[in-house]
Amino acid sequence: MVIDQDDRIYCRAGSKDDLEVFTSTEFPELLELHMDFGKVDETGLVLKSAPKLSFLTLAHVKDMNFFKNTWNSLKKLHVQSCSGIFSLENAILPNLEILTIDVSSDRCGATEINNCTFPKLLKLEVTGGDEANGFFENFVAPNLESFSSEMHISNLDLSKSSSNLKSLNSWNVRSLRLGAPEKLKELNLRGDCLEDLTFDTRVSLK
């Protein structure tokens, strides 16, 4: 583990013991954390309170349970180099503005966002390989402006996240529900698997 400043930490977990030491420490002034879990399984461990943490970059992480005590303060979350499935479930991140997830390091990777609420989210970007899959259910982000995906998505329901949506770029979505995207200016759907596109109101692209 390398600590550059009191308010910024860069670290890589070498063992479960490393994580246990890390989770036993409080970080009252921490603003920014870049953490690589490597091959260490973080299941069952939770970081103590870091009330000022606003920027989090993660590598080789499975889910966000390790950081559930920081959900209220996060503004930017970047998840990269995931292997397998990255899931975020039953979460409310009230101040998150930017969320990017990359599972392209694993050819069979997947992203799952289920029963989550992001009241201030502006940008969501998910990236994967040719065989990666995305699952988005009960996803609420009323201020979302930009959504971008590079993976197979069977059902993308943005009906509760489209009132402020301005840009939607997606690849290989089978079913898309957009709700009432009255501010939508860019709609770019690539691939040849789209079977169902539903709007709750008439849309005019400018």
Q: What burial class does residue 123 get, using C-beta atoms within 10 Å of its C-beta: 0-12 exposed, 13-18 middle, 19+ buried?
A: middle
pLDDT tens sequence across 35-84: 998 888 888 889 888 899 999 999 888 778 888 888 999 999 999 876 66
- How far apart CA 64 and CA 191 sit, in angstroms, is 31
Q: Tens digits of per-residue pLDDT, 1-21?
A: 544 456 888 888 888 888 888
Q: How far is the C-alpha of 151 from the C-alpha of 121, rounded, in Å?
A: 21
- Tokens representing 79 are 């998840």
Segment 184-201, tens digit of pLDDT: 999 999 888 888 888 875
The rounded mean pLDDT for the chain is 86
- Model-wide pTM > 0.85: yes
**C-alpha angle with apex 63: 2 to 37, nearest 5 degrees?**
25
The pLDDT of residue 42: 84
Return the pLDDT at 34. Answer: 92
Q: For tokens 């292997």, what's the residue? A: 83
Tens digits of residue pLDDT in 54-64 = 999 998 887 78
